[in-house]
Structure 1
Amino acid sequence: MNTHDLKIFEAVAANGSFTRAAEVMFTVQSNVTARIKSLEEEFGTALFNRTSRKVTLTSAGETLMHYSKQIDHLVQEAKKDIEKSNEMSGQLTIGCIETTMALKVPDILRRFTEAYPQVDLEFKSERRSELISDVLNYKLDAAFVSAPINVPGLEQVHIKDEQLAIFASATAPELKILLAAQPVKIIVFDQGCAFRARIESWLNSKGIIQYKSIVLNSIEGIVNFVEAGLGITILPAELIAQYYKGRKLRSFPLNKELGTMSTVLVFRKNVPHSRALKTFIEMY
């Protein structure tokens, strides 16, 4: 077995086909079949369930996939650490939710790239659940997500606490009148968003289980809809104060439990970290 065999194994799993895996690996199907057979003989078990339409991982294949991703990560980290130059270099891919992207990323980029110009720092904005999955599956080096989080395989460091508030149009009546309307309309991101979970929990605490969700995919869109009086939302108070101060919005406070959101930086545990990632973690 070698690392190329594992790449072929991952290609078959990702594409569900020996033929397609051969295409993406720029080889012939007979070679893919031979390498998978060799792996199965080495481990003494079938790695794929084979049907006429698709191949899928067996439980043993799922286990090997877990280790294969770790092996690939270790090889890449070894390459980075063996570089001849003493100057820190390489690439970091960091995930965050959209509000973190708007509030914190510009300053993070400025500070980190000024200190370590040879490190290519990239950011990906996604929902919390996707960010956690991407860190676990080696698609991200680390991610800023909302706490609490208790996921096996991840470590975390506390970054900061943010204050959340309910926002409505400046022309909206008092909150109790808004909540008396049927149905209550909320402006939110898609499922998996921490702010959506907060406003839904808040409504449930008020005994409101029937409400209408208007789902948007950007902060700007949410602010526009709220300003137009189409519903209410929950967002960080700092975000609105810093970027939307002139907008026609009014805010309502939340209790401490729902109104405080802790942000943590999560990254894989029990695996070697590159110098760049160690430095990023220490900085933030």
Structure 2
Amino acid sequence: MNTNDLKIFEAVAESGSFTKAADRMFTVQSNVTARIKSLEEEFDTKLFSRTSRKVELTDEGQLLMKYAKQIQYLVEEAKNEIKSSDTVNGHLVIGCMETTMALKAPEILLAFGEKYPAVELEFKSDDRDMLISDVLNYKLDAAFVSAPLNVNGLEKIKIKEEQLVILASSKESSLNNLVTKEALKSIVFDNGCIFRERLESWFSHKGIHNYKSIELNSIEGIINFVEAGLGISLLPEEVISKYYEGRKICTYPLNKQLGTMTTLLVYRKDKTTSRALQGFIDMHLQDII
């Protein structure tokens, strides 16, 4: 077995097809079939169940996939570490929420780039569950997510606490008057967003069930819709006070349980931490950002 066999194995698992895996790996289907057969003989088990429509991982195949991702990751890390023993280099992919991407990522990139200029730092935004899944599956080196978190296999560092507030247009006389309207609308990100979950929890706590959601994909869009009086939303207070203070928006506090959000930095336990990732972790432990 070599690492390319594992790459072929992953390609088959992800595409569900020997033909598609061959295209992805720039080889022929017969080679893919041969390499999978060789792996099955080496591990003395069936790695895929084959049907007329697709191939799927067996339980044993799922287990091998877990180790294959670790092996591929470690090989790439070893290459990066060996390339230059006296310089921290490599490529880090960090996951974050939309607000972190828009408001914090630029200053993190600047501070980290000054200290580790040879490391390529990339950010990707997604919802909390997907960020956690991508860290566990080696698609992200680390991610900023909201607490609480109790997931096996992840280390976590507390980064900061933020206060969340409800946003409404300053055209409205009061929040109480607004939420009693029959046509109440929430201006939110897609499902899975922590801010949307908190707002919906607040609605439930207040006994508000007759509302509709307008989904947007940017903070600026949410601010514009709220300011225009199209509905209410929920975001960190810092976002409003630091970047949108002059807008025609009123903010309303929440109780401590709903209004406090703790941000964590999470990364995998079961791997050797690269010098690049350790540098990123240390930067936050030292409160540089």
Whole-angstrom CA distance in 1 between matches of 2:273 and 2:65: 20
Quote the Cα distance in structure 1 between the aligned partners of 2:91 and 2:232.
40
Q: Alignment partner of 1:139: what SS?
A: coil
Q: CA deviation at 1:150?
A: 1.2
Aligned partner letter, 2:109: L
Provide the identity percentage. 65
Inter-partner Cα distance in structure 2 for 1:97 and 1:90: 23
Alpha-carbon offset, residue 273 of structure 1: 0.9
Give the match for residue 127 of structure 2.
127
Alignment pair present for 1:100 and 2:116: no
Q: Secondary structure at the match of 2:191?
A: coil
Over residues 123-146 of structure 1, what are the superposed CA-to-partner deviations in whole Å (9 max), with x where a residue is unaligned? 111111111111111111111111
Matched residues, number: 284
CA distance in 2, matches of 1:222, 1:56: 41
Unpaired runs of 5+ residues, structure 1, are: none
Q: Could you tell me how far apart the structure 2 residues matched to 1:44 and 1:115 are? A: 48
TM-score with structure 2 setting the length: 0.96
Tell me which residue corresponds to 1:281: 281
What does residue 78 of structure 1 align with? 78
In structure 2, C-alpha distance between the alignment counterparts of 1:184 and 1:136, rounded to whole Å: 39
Which residue in 2 is equivalent to 1:218?
218
Matches within 5 A, 1:41-120: 41-120=41-120
Q: Superposition RMSD on alpha carbons, in Å? A: 1.1
- Say yes or no: does 1:164 pair with 2:164: yes
Q: Secondary structure at the match of 1:82?
A: helix
Q: Distance in 2 between matches of 1:43 and 1:15?
A: 22
Query: Residues 78-120 of structure 1, C-alpha deviation per residue, up to 9 Å, x if partnerless?
Result: 1122223401111111111111112211111111101111111
Distance 1:69 1:259 in 2: 38
**8 Å Cα contact 2:81/2:89 also seen in 1:** no
Report the AA paired with residue 49 of structure 1.
S
**Which blocks of at least 5 consecutive residues in structure 2 are unaligned?**
285-289
Cα distance per residue 1:204-254 (max 9 Å; x no partner): 111122321111111111111000101101101110111111111011111
- Residue type at the aligned position of 1:279: G
**Structure 1 residue runs of 4 or more that deviate by more than 2 Å after TM superposition:** none
Deviation per CA, 1:162-211: give whole Å up to 9, x if none.
01100000101211111211243110000000000000011111112232
Structure 1 distance, partners of 2:84, 2:232, is 55
Alignment of 1:195-210 (within 5 A): 195-210=195-210
Secondary structure (helix, strand or coil) at the match of 1:187 reads: strand
Structure 2 counterpart SS, 1:104: helix
